[in-house]
Amino acid sequence: MALRKFKPVTAGTRWRIGNAYAEVTTNVPEKSLVETKKKTGGRNSSGRLSMRYRGGGHKQKYRIIDFKRDKKDVAATVVSIEYDPNRTAFIALLNYADGEKRYIIAPQGLEVGATVISGDAVAPEIGNALQMKNMPLGTNIHNIEMQPGQGGKLARSAGSSAQLTNKEEKYAVLKMPSGELRKVLVNGYATVGVVSNSDHSLQSMGKAGRNRWKGIKPRNRGVAMNPVDHPMGGGEGRASGGQPRSRTGQYSRGLKTRTKGKGSDKLIIQRKNGSKLAK
């Protein structure tokens, strides 16, 4: 992926680092795989504000993505690589041999005209989906199922992938993007490759208006509020606000928020900070 550094023609482009969209081949989505998307503005079903700093933004349509890859042993040709406003990764439009079309998350290196396939006995090549028990150790994978048939849940954002490090009876041991080592059922499906658009995190908006186009409103700092509005508010002059915490008083540093005795504890071998969970 290539980034584009804009010339400082205006104040908004002075600090802007955008995507060059070199991999994207079309800006017109497949009409049969698009549906309307209603914005909530951060309101719940009662109409009350439950998530602050959301609202407005450009109108978007949702692209229906095939996370399950359950069309087995039917070859598909990559028709286009497209931008998706609902996710950080690019998506690829597949045209199956029987005429059906589906979107998948595009892995890095997948090009228009390439052939991909899903099945139990397919080759572990970029874009192919197969069970982890049939993959060689060291393979980089994404769109990983936690339960067979559930659809991919893990490693779906731009540039992310997990590495298959070991196989133990009915479990595959994965090194997650966070560095965590965890077990996942080895019969689950995953897609070979690293998710596209790996330089997404290096982009710079350049101006507040670009965030408004995304539906993100300005966020007010807690230390700038009054004590009645935030635990970190108040004080004389520019007070630091003490230990960082949320509006509801939950500490943002050092507080362990994981539920004790959670069912998936036995599947986590090593946490992202290198510590092992107490058994």
Q: List the one residue out of 234, 138, 268, 132 whose CA is nearest residue 190.
A: 132
In single-letter form, the type of residue at position 200 comes to H
Residues of the chain with pLDDT under 50: none
Q: Which residues contact 201 (CB under 8 A, 6 or more apart)?
A: 158, 159
Bridge partners, 246 (sequence order)? none
The half-sphere exposure of 14 on its side-chain side, counting CA atoms within 13 A, is 5
In single-letter form, the type of residue at position 19 comes to N
- pTM comes to 0.91
pLDDT tens readout for residues 86-139: 999 999 999 999 999 999 999 999 999 999 999 998 999 999 999 999 999 999
pLDDT at 121: 87
**Tokens describing residue 262:** 């959670």
User: To 5 degrees, how large is the angle CA 27–CA 110–CA 82?
Assistant: 15
DSSP element (H, E) containing 212: helix 208-213
pLDDT at 143: 98
In single-letter form, the type of residue at position 195 comes to V
- Looking at domain 3-200+259-270, its CATH superfamily turns out to be Nucleic acid-binding proteins (2.40.50.140)
The Cα 270–Cα 37 span in angstroms is 39
pLDDT at 129: 97
Let me know: does 66 contact 51? Beta carbons within 8 Å: no
